[in-house]
C-alpha cells in the first residue's frame, strides 16, 4: 500500500481515532482509500469499523484485502472474491468483524516454510538476502495488480492478474 500511495504522490498517515495508516487517492474510478492496519496482524479486523465509517463504505464490493499466502509460491499473485480463510488469522479477524468472508482479496505468495512449526517465523521474521530482494519485486507486482483494479472491473483484473507468470 505504501508503494501504491507513493505512486500517486502521497503517503500513508495515521489519523485520529483510526487503527490504521491510510491515504485517499484519486483514480480513474474515483477516490480510493488505501490502508494498512496498525494492529497486530491477528487483529486486523479491528481497524475496519472506524475506517469504513470514515470513508462511508457500506458496499463490500469496494473492499480488497491484500495479504500473504503460504499456499502460493513466492512471486505468485492471485486476485479472488470470497472463499475460505486457509488458517490465516488476519483474514479470520476481518471476516469476523465484517460478518462475511465475501470480500476481495489479493493473495501474495510467500511460500511454505521448511516445516509447519516455522509458519509464524516464516511470515513475521524480516527477510534477508535473496528473499529480501525477491520480496521487493513481489511488492511492486502487488502494487501493479492493485493498479489493475483501479482501471478495469474486478473480474477483468482477476483474469489479468491470475494469468500473469504464464498461467
Contact yes or no for 21/70 (Cβ under 8 A): no
Running DSSP on this structure, what letter comes out for residue 126? P
Class of residue 147 by CB neighbours under 10 A (exposed 0-12, middle 13-18, buried 19+): middle
pLDDT of 123 higher than 70: yes
For the chain, what is the domain count? 1
- Mind listing the pLDDT tens digit for each residue in 12-61? 999 999 999 999 999 988 899 999 999 999 999 999 999 999 999 999 99
- Between CA 95 and CA 119 the distance in angstroms is 21
Q: Which domain holds residue 141?
A: 2-166
pLDDT at 165 (0 to 100)? 65
- The 3-state DSSP class for residue 36 equals strand
CATH of the domain at 128: 3.40.50.1470
pLDDT band with cut points at 50, 70 and 90 for residue 149? very high
pTM for this entry: 0.90
pLDDT band with cut points at 50, 70 and 90 for residue 124? confident
Contact yes or no for 149/157 (Cβ under 8 A): yes
Q: What is the average pLDDT value for the chain, to the nearest integer?
A: 91
Amino acid at each position: 500500500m505504501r508503494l501504491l500511495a507513493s505512486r500517486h504522490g502521497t503517503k500513508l498517515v495515521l489519523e485520529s481515532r483510526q487503527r490504521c495508516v491510510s491515504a485517499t487517492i484519486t483514480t480513474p474510478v474515483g477516490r480510493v482509500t488505501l490502508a494498512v492496519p496498525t494492529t497486530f496482524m491477528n487483529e486486523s479486523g479491528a481497524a475496519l469499523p472506524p475506517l469504513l465509517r470514515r470513508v462511508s463504505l457500506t458496499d463490500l464490493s469496494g473492499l480488497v484485502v491484500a495479504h500473504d499466502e503460504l499456499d502460493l509460491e513466492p512471486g505468485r499473485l492471485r486476485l479472488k472474491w470470497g472463499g475460505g480463510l486457509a488458517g490465516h488469522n488476519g483474514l479470520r479477524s476481518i471476516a469476523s468483524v465484517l460478518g462475511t468472508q465475501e470480500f476481495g482479496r489479493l493473495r501474495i505468495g510467500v511460500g511454505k516454510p521448511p516445516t509447519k512449526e516455522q509458519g509464524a517465523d516464516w511470515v513475521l521474521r524480516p527477510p534477508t538476502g535473496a528473499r529480501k530482494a525477491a520480496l521487493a519485486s513481489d511488492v511492486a507486482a502487488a502494487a501493479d495488480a492493485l493498479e489493475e483494479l483501479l482501471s478495469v472491473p474486478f473480474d477483468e483484473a482477476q483474469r489479468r492478474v491470475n494469468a500473469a507468470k504464464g498461467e
